[in-house]
Every structure is written in C-alpha cells, then in structure tokens.
Amino acid sequence: MPMTNKRRLSVLAAAAVAVLALSACTGQDGSSGGGDDQGPRTLKLGVSSELLSYDPVDLNGGGEGNLLWMPVYDRLLTITPDNGLEPGLATEWAFDDSFSVLTLELRDGVTFSDGAPFTAETVKANIENLKASSSTEAGIVAPIEEVVPVDENTVEFHLASYDPTLLYQLGLAAGVMASPEALGTEEIKLNPVGSGPYTLDDQGSVRGSELIYVKNDEHWNSDAYPYETLVFKTYQDITARLNAAKSGEVDGAPITSAAAAEAEAAGLTITNTPAGWLGLGLFDRAGQIAPELADVRVRQAINYAFDKQAILENVEQGYGYATSQTFAEGQPGYDPELDNRYEYDPEKARELLAEAGYPDGFDLTIPDLPHMAAYTPIIADQLKDVGINVTIKPVAPTDTLAEMFGGQNAAFAMEFGGTSIGQITALSTQSVWNIFKSTDEELSQLVSVAYKATEEDEQDKTYREVNRWVVDNAWFAPWYMKDSIFVTSSEVTVEPWVTNVTPLISSFAPAK
Amino acid sequence: MVAFICRRLLSGVALVFVVSALTAFLIFAGGMDIARNILGTNATEEQVAQRAAELGLDRPAWQQYADWLGAALTGDLGRSYFSSEPVLQALSTRLPVTLSVVLTAVLVTAVLSAALGVLAAVRRGWVDRFVQLANVVVGAIPNFWLALVLVSVFALNLRLFPATGYVPFLESPAGWLLSITLPVASLVIGGLGAAMIVRSSVIDVLRLDFVRTLRSRGLSQREVLTKHVMRNAAPPFLTVMSLAFIGMFGGAVVIEKVFAIPGVGTLANNAAQRGDVPLVLGVVSVTVAVVVVVNLVIDILNGWLNPKVRVQ
C-alpha cells in the first residue's frame, strides 16, 4: 500500500513533535545560570584555549591559563585582583637587609590531594624541580641559589642576585607547590596533585573540551570560594564562545572587543580592565639592522606618526585608552602626563625625520605576525604618511616566535601585558623582549634603584623615573592600553584582575 | 568478493603508510620549532635545545618517522608532546564524537537526497524543476554560514537546541540527538547535491527496456521503483555518498569549531598548529583508516546491490 500524502504529513508532524518533546524534556539547563545535576553552586566558564598540562613546570603566568590551574594549585603567595600580595602557603615573608636571603614562614597542616603533608622540604623539592627543568619559569627561580629548610615550617631562599619580581612570581606559576611524590612523573601532566581549593574530576572531564573541578572542603581558605563545582568549557571560536554565553550555557567568558556590542545587546554584563599595551616595538635601538632607528628622533617621529585614538576606536571599539607609555593606569610608576607625550602629529614626525637626516623618509621592513595581522597594515599605512616606506614581510604561523625573538626584525607590532615591574624587567638585557640587547648607562642606573624599592611610595617614584626615560627615548611606540573584556550572566558577579586577560577564580561570586 | 576485499584492504594499508609519511615529511620540512612551541616565548636557546634533544627532535626526519612507524605497528601511537595524553586515548574520546555527527549527517543526506531524487525523476514537471532549483540554491550556501544562522535562530532565539557542545549518546540519547541536530543540518546541506545524481540515474534506468517489460507484466509503480529501478540506479549514488562522507569528515573541522564540539577535527587542527607530531600522525593515520574502511563498506554494499560490480 503506497503511503498517502496525508499519512506522510502526519508522520512528519509526529517526528517534529517528538523532537520538540525531546528538547522540552532535556530542558535548557543553561539559562538557569546554575546547573542541572551539578547543584546550584556551579560556576560554568568558557575559555578560548585548553590547558595542555598540569605539570608545575609546564604552567605559566600569562593568559587564561591561570584560571584553569589556579583552582587546583596553591602558590606560596596569593595575588589579589589589584596585583597586591597576600599569604598563600607562606604566611609571612621577608628579605634580609642585603636582599640576599628571603625567609618564608609556611602554613601548618596543609596536605596535598595524595595525602602528603606540605613542609619546608616540599618547597625545596618544588623549587629545585623547577630550576632543573627546561621550563619557561625556570629562569624566574634561577637566582635562588639554594633552598634551605630551617625547620618544618620555615624555609630560606638564598639568592645569588636580587630580582624584584620574585615575590610576585611566587604568587604565580613559579610559586606552585605540588606533592613531591608526583613531581617529574608523566602522570602529573594529566592529573594535578596539589593542595588547591578544588580538585580535578578526572572521570567527568573531557580533556581539551570540558574540565570539571570539585571543591576541596579541607582547603585552608575554603570560605573564599563560594562554588561547589567549577566547569570550564573550551570554545576556540569567539562566535561559539559568545553564543555559549548568550544562550546561558556558560556563566562567563572572555570575549573580544568586536563581540562586546553584541554581548551587551544580549544583556550580558561586561567587565573590562587594562590588560596590556599595544603598539609597535622599536627594538633595534642601536641600529644594527635598521640604522635609522639608532637616532632617537626617528623613534620619536614614529611615535608621533600613529593616530592612536583612531586606531583604538576602530580596531578595539574604544575598549582601552590611548597612551604613549607602557605602564597601566593605577599601577606604580604610571604617569598621567606621559599618556599624551606623543600625541598624533604627522607634521612633527616629518620634521623630526628631516632633522635626523631623512627628509625623504627611509625603508623599514615589518614582519606580518599572524597574531597581530590586524595591525600590520595600519603600521604600514600610518608610517607611509610620514614618509617611512614599510615593506611587509609575510610570516608563517609556525615561524612567529623565531621572527619575533630571532633578531631578524628591527620592529614589530606587539602586545605586552603584566605588572609595572614586569615592564621594567623587560628592559633588562636578560629579557627575551630586549631583542637586540639594548643598553644605556642612565637607564641601568634608574632600573637598579627601582629594583630595590620595596615600599609603595618609593616604587611609584622610582618606577616613574624609569618610565619617563623609556618614553623620552622612545624605546617603544605604544598606541594604547588595551582592555581585556570578560562577560558574565546576571547570575554572577566578578572583579577584574588588573593587567590580566581573565579574572582570578576567587573573584567570582553568585549574584545576590 | 574475498579477493576484491583483500585487494582494497591492502591498498588501504598502503595509503595509510603513504599519507602518514607525507604528513611527517610536511611537518619536519616545515622547519617548525616544536621545542620552542612547547616551552614558549621566554625559554632560552639552551632550554629549547635541551627539550628538542629530550624529544629526539634533533635527529633526522626519516629516523623520527621510522621510530614512530615501528611503535605504531605494535599499536603504540605515543603520547602528545604537550599534554602527555596517550594518542590512542585522545582519539578514543574524539573520534566517536566526529563519527557520530558525520555518519548521522551522511545517513540523513542519503535518505533525503534519495527521496528528493526519486521524487523529481518520477514526478517530473514542476516538482522536478523545483527540486533542481532548490538544489542549486541550497548548494550555494556555505555550511559554516548556515551553521551560524541555525544557531542564531534555533538556539539563541527559539531556544529549541543547545547553541554549543556535545552530549555523548550513552549519557543521554535525547541530549545527544539535540546536540547534534544543528551540526548535522549544517553538514547535510552540502551533501544534498546527491539528489541530482539520483534523479538522473533513476531517469536513465526508467527509460530502459526492462522497466517497460516489468510494467507490462502488471507490477505496480512502487514495486518497479523499489525493487528494480533504485537497485540499478544505486551505484553512482553510493559513490557520491562515499565522497560526501569524506567531504563531511573534512567539513567537520569548521562545524566543530562553530559548535564547540570536541571532535577529531579540532584535535587535528590544534595539534598541527602546535607541531604535536605524535598526535598529528595518529589522527591522520586513523582518519585515513576510517575513510578506507567506510569506502570499503560502500564498495561491498555496491557489490551486494549490483552483482555486475563483483565480477570485474
């Protein structure tokens, strides 16, 4: 019997009803902002990249990674959203007068997820493990010559040289403490063995897609973490991430400025904070491969050539503020006067170039770094306007790092986050960011004074001196301080972490 | 038939070797600084060199490939350079996700395009013209664009389906169906061109003498179509379906991104960008193997439907 049209229609209708019924019975749990079977106190966050390894030597301080590993690992010190320091696994810390010994008093009664106790010996094992590794962070603990356990709860770091960023770094990946038993094993890459406020739910998690953390009620600071469960979902694509936030599948996610208007229209809350400066790095200050850059007037001319406000408005939708300095507002060393030091003035740029002996401009090659591809044409366009003829050199994604740090390029577009002291240490000849190992006696003098500043007033004053020198000598051509943007649903409140891409996990709380 | 299957299997194995060797060659010839990628921007040259030595990346490319091949033949695909996750484990969580989306899409495409093709061939007239026109229009829609529109309409506005994510079938069959509906719909759109193949081959077969004979013997239209015409019209259709499968497997990379589905496409894409050699080689080899097997199944199906194929 052939099926009649009527019957066919009714079958189709039945199928449609079935699908709708299914969608009703599974429910749209996301819109509740909490969760279904995971209890009301679940925080679901979207992130753009996965965490590849939980091995402490593979962790690093930048980007979103913090959000993913900080729940499972305690650090020696705890960083606050305004980049201050609070007790972590160390309850007290102090340098001796000569800054050659750092003494840490350790928290008593802390145990790792494998049951091992946290002691002075644990600190020694972790620091030595990190030092011996080929990790990025090994350089940070390199000045620690020796770790000396004084007693169970006291440890001394004997320093070969004083590094002013050390304390801050002990609040990040370099200060991560894992169970000594697990250090150096393959297993710790997949399963963290820390003492953090949460533990990884290995069974429930799907690596590279969804990580689930459950609260560790034994944690010494358990009260600071209001959520019973944390769920991190990876959305590499910004559209997918935004859709997940809009549909309530996640309670919060980092987004781009281009997506901000859409997020706002969808009723999401936007939290933004200066994450880092963006502009053109002028690295060949001695003119090794681009002789013109050796003249400070040329570097200043380049600074004058960029219409910073216009770039900010057009590329970042105004999320940020135009500036000529690398220090972020509100951070030590920030000088409001320096924001306008090189206000857009192409005429002045041409004058300076003429003074420097380049009335007809000169040729400059800029690599088209894939992650900065949006900015390269802007550089070429704006510099051409003042007479500098830019050749854009194509760069394969896999060659990015070699092109940046291999010393083949006199200047390139860059984005640089971090604290004020991070801006200062990047000037050192030891830093990878000082690509041509530029030095200056006056600057070294100012930096060495700034390094020794421990009090806030003193830091602000000495950092400001360094800042002013760097801006006057145009070591960089910053355009603006770019905001990081994090969206949250109405169910969640969050405080931003200044100079960082994502907030700290302890900064999230259920909305009242 | 057995000889036929053996021949196809052998050529399939050869294909896996060739493709994996080519992949390895492309990675190593690309001059990617894998150790640098692992360690990041701040690592020194010495650290990079040390890590490269640890991973054996300082040896000649052929030697690294030979080592991988030797281990792979014993079933050990190694571990990811970056996460240390065994490659087999990564594949076992990712491949079923992609396959469940792609195979469902192929199935839906097959049913839809067969129905539309037969309808157009039998009815002709305005139905035929409509199906043809619709085919051109639909064929011009890029799947990622369609995916974005579907999410916007059905997930964000109507809230009928989740906007992103994947629910395993075993966890919740209903949730699974809902989570793959939009991705499958986006993939199907690209495969509906097969309806035109069905249409033309059904028209061709309908014109043959044996169909007239069957009709003259009083067989109903339905019997003629299902028992005789479709069986004869099937080979080109099956070939197109096997191509559609390969196409959708590749297209899944984009769809997985839009819907944040943890499939093998995302895995391969990320691994390739990082230079995670064991993972890339593992994904490529297993993917080629899957394609070979699916094609083989379709060939066998073809042989079963059409005895002429078996004879060659």
What is the DSSP code string of B205-218?
Answer: HHTSHHHHHHHHTT
- Using a CB–CB cutoff of 8 Å, tell me whether A132 touches chain B: no
Per-residue model confidence (pLDDT) at position A36 = 43
A402 in reach of chain B (CB within 8 A): yes
pLDDT attached to residue A134: 74
Query: Taking a C-beta distance cutoff of 8 angstroms, is the pair A500, A483 a contact?
Result: no
Same domain, B181 and B292: yes
Cβ of B257 within 8 Å of Cβ of A236? The answer is yes
Single residue among B20, B42, B72 that ends a domain in this structure? B72
Dist CA A137 CA B156 (whole Å): 42
**Record: contact A2-B151, CB cut-off 8 A:** no
The answer to whether the beta carbons of residues A141 and A131 sit under 8 Å apart is yes
Question: For residue A196, what pLDDT is reported?
Answer: 95
Q: Could you say which residues from 163 to 202 on chain A have a Cβ atom under 8 Å away from some Cβ of chain B?
A: 186, 189-190
Q: Can you give the residue range of the structural domain that contains B50?
A: 2-72
Residue numbers in A near B43 (CB within 8 A): 134-136, 139
* The predicted structure's pLDDT at residue A5: 52
| Burial degree of B11 (CB within 10 A; 0-12, 13-18, 19+) | exposed
Helix (H, G, I), strand (E, B) or coil at A475: coil
Per-residue pLDDT reduced to its tens digit, B158-192: 999 999 989 888 889 999 999 999 999 999 987 88
Q: Are A443 and A401 in contact (CB under 8 A)?
A: no
Chain A CB within 8 Å of residue B157 CB:
no
Separation in Å, CA of B187 to nearest CA in chain A: 17
Run of H or E including A44: strand A42-47
Question: d(Cα B257, Cα A130) in Å, to the nearest integer?
Answer: 35
Instruction: Provide the pLDDT for residue A186.
Output: 87
Tell me whether residue B304 is in a domain: yes
* pLDDT tens sequence across A197-215: 999 998 888 887 899 999 9
Question: Which residue is listed with tokens 């994090």?
Answer: A486
Q: In the predicted model, is pLDDT for residue A20 greater than 60?
A: no
pLDDT tens digits, A120-153: 999 999 999 999 887 768 888 989 999 999 999 9
ipTM of the complex: 0.79
Find which of A401, A408, A430, A433 to mutate to test the B interface (most B CBs within 10 Å of its CB): A401
Cβ under 8 Å to B: A residues 40-59: 50, 52-53, 55
Residue B39 pLDDT more than 50? Answer: yes
* Any A CB within 8 A of B37 CB: yes
Q: Which of A324-328, A336-340, A389-393, A403-407 has the lowest mean pLDDT?
A: A403-407
Residue of B nearest to A135 (CA): B39
The count of domains in chain B is 2
CA A415/CA A402 separation, integer angstroms: 17
**Minimum CA–CA partner of B274 in chain A:** A398
CB contacts, 8 Å: A50 with chain B: 270
With respect to residue B40, please indicate whether it lies within any of the assigned structural domains: yes
DSSP classification of residue B165: -
| Residue of B157, B164, B179 for testing the chain A interface, max A β-carbons within 10 Å | B164
Residue A28 pLDDT more than 50?
Answer: no
Looking at the structure, tell me whether residues B62 and B121 fall in a common domain.
no
User: How confident is the model at residue B113, as a pLDDT?
Assistant: 92
Question: Where does the pLDDT of residue A176 fall: very low under 50, low under 70, confident under 90, or very high at 90 and above?
Answer: very high
B178 touches chain A (CB under 8 A): yes
Quick one: tokens of A107?
């928290």
Considering the domain architecture, whether residues B35 and B98 belong to the same structural domain is answered as no
Note the pLDDT of residue B26: 84
Within a domain: residue B36? Answer: yes
The answer to the question of residue B166 being in a domain is yes
Give CA–CA dist A142/B182, Å, rounded. Answer: 52
Averaged pLDDT for residues A52-62: 85
Residue percentage of chain A with pLDDT more than 90: 71
Map residue A133 onto helix, strand or coil.
coil
Copy the structure tokens of residue A95.
């340098």
Identify the CA nearest to A226 among candidates A205, A249, A244, A251: A251
- State the average pLDDT over residues A148-175: 92
Within a domain: residue B79? Answer: no
B23 shares its domain with B113 = no
- Kindly state whether B84 is in contact with chain A, defined as any CB-CB distance less than 8 angstroms: yes
This prediction has a pTM of 0.82
The DSSP code for B229 is I
Cβ separation of B165 and A249 shorter than 8 Å?
A: yes
What is the structure's pLDDT at A8?
53
Asked if residue A168 has pLDDT above 60, the reply is yes
Give the phi and the psi of residue A301 in degrees, each rounded to 5.
Answer: -60, -40
In a domain, B77, yes or no: no
Which of A42-46, A57-61, A75-79, A261-265 comes out lowest in average pLDDT?
A57-61
> Which chain A residue is nearest to residue B43, measuring alpha carbons?
A136
Pairwise pLDDT comparison (A193 vs B238), residue with the higher score: A193
Rounded Cα gap, residues A217 and A224, in angstroms: 11
Higher pLDDT, A301 or A84: A301
Where b means 16+ CB within 10 Å and e means fewer, A223-239 reads: eebebbbbbbbbbbbeb
CA distance to partner chain B, nearest, from residue A401 (Å): 7
Task: Let me know: does A233 contact A250? Beta carbons within 8 Å.
Answer: yes
Say how many C-beta atoms besides its own lie within 10 A of residue A77's C-beta: 21
Other residues' Cβ atoms within 10 Å of the Cβ of residue A448: 11
> Are A208 and B31 a contacting pair at CB < 8 A?
no
CB-based contact (8 Å) between B283 and chain A? no
Residue B86 counted as domain residue? no
The pLDDT value given to residue A62: 67
Q: Could you tell me if A279 and A471 are in contact, meaning their C-beta atoms sit under 8 angstroms apart?
A: no
CA–centroid distance for A338 within its chain: 24
Question: Are B62 and B114 part of one and the same domain?
Answer: no
Higher pLDDT among residues A18 and B38, named by residue: B38
Long-range contacts of B127-133 (CB under 8 A, 24+ apart): B128/B199, B131/B195, B131/B199, B132/B196, B132/B199
Task: Report CB contact under 8 Å: A20, B82.
Answer: no
Residue B88 in any domain: the answer is no
Which residue of B27, B38, B42 to mutate against A (max A Cβ within 10 Å)? B42
Is the domain of B66 the same as that of B214? no
Name the residue type at position A387. G
Q: Is a pLDDT exceeding 80 seen at residue A11?
A: no
For A51, what's the count of Cα atoms within 13 Å in the CB-facing half-sphere? 34
Examine the pLDDT at A46 and tell me if it is beyond 60: yes
Regarding whether B120 and B36 lie in a shared domain, the answer is no
CA distances from B202 to B42, B109, B298 (A): 65, 17, 19
- Which residue, A417, A414, A484, is CA-closest to A260? A484
Q: Are B152 and B260 part of one and the same domain?
A: yes
Q: pLDDT tens for residues B204-235?
A: 888 889 988 988 888 888 888 888 888 888 88
Query: Looking at the structure, do residues B30 and B173 belong to the same domain, yes or no?
Result: no
Q: Where does the pLDDT of residue A352 fall: very low under 50, low under 70, confident under 90, or very high at 90 and above?
A: very high
Q: B217 CA to chain A: closest CA distance, Å?
A: 19
Q: Which residues of B touch A8 (CB under 8 A)?
A: none
Any chain B CB within 8 A of the CB of A139? Answer: yes
Q: Are the beta carbons of A19 and B177 separated by less than 8 Å?
A: yes
Q: Indicate if the pLDDT at residue B277 is higher than 60.
A: yes
Window 49-78 of B, Cβ < 8 Å to A: 50-51, 54
Contact flag A399-B257 (C-beta cutoff 8 Å) = no
Same domain, B41 and B156: no
- Using alpha carbons, select from A175, A167, A173, A165 the residue that is nearest to residue A418: A165
**pLDDT, tens digit (0-9, with 9 covering 90-100), for A237-248:** 899 999 999 999
pLDDT tens for A388-438 read 999 999 998 778 888 998 899 999 999 998 788 889 989 988 888 999 999
C-alpha of A156 from chain center: 29
pLDDT at A23 over 60: no
Residue B94 has pLDDT above 80, yes or no: yes
Alpha-carbon span A122 to A67, nearest angstrom? 24
What pLDDT does A42 receive?
94
How far B266 CA sits from the closest chain A CA (Å)? 9
Which residue on chain B is closest to A48 by alpha carbon? B260
Distance in Å, alpha carbon of B293 to nearest chain A alpha carbon: 27
Q: Do B37 and B145 fall within a single domain? A: no
Distance, in Å, from the CA atom of B82 to the CA atom of A137, rounded to the nearest integer, reads: 16
Average model confidence (pLDDT) for chain B? 87
Of the candidates B229, B210, B232, the residue with the CA atom closest to the CA atom of residue B221: B229
- pLDDT at residue A339, as a whole number: 95
A425 touches chain B (CB under 8 A): no
Does residue B6 or residue A156 have the better pLDDT?
Answer: A156
Suggest the residue from B28, B41, B154, B221 to mutate for an interface test with chain A (most A CBs closer than 10 A): B41
Task: Indicate which CATH number applies to the domain containing B150.
Answer: 1.10.3720.10
Is residue B250 less than 8 Å (CB to CB) from chain A? no
pLDDT (0 to 100) of residue A402: 83
Enter the tokens of residue A288: 């090794």
Distance (Å) from the alpha carbon of A205 to chain B's nearest alpha carbon: 11
Average predicted confidence (pLDDT) for chain A? 89
On chain B, the residues whose CB falls within 8 A of the CB of A22 are 174, 177-178
Query: Cβ–Cβ of A243/B151 closer than 8 Å?
Result: yes
Q: Please give the helix or strand (H or E) that residue B99 lies within, else none.
A: helix B87-123
Considering the domain architecture, whether residues B157 and B61 belong to the same structural domain is answered as no
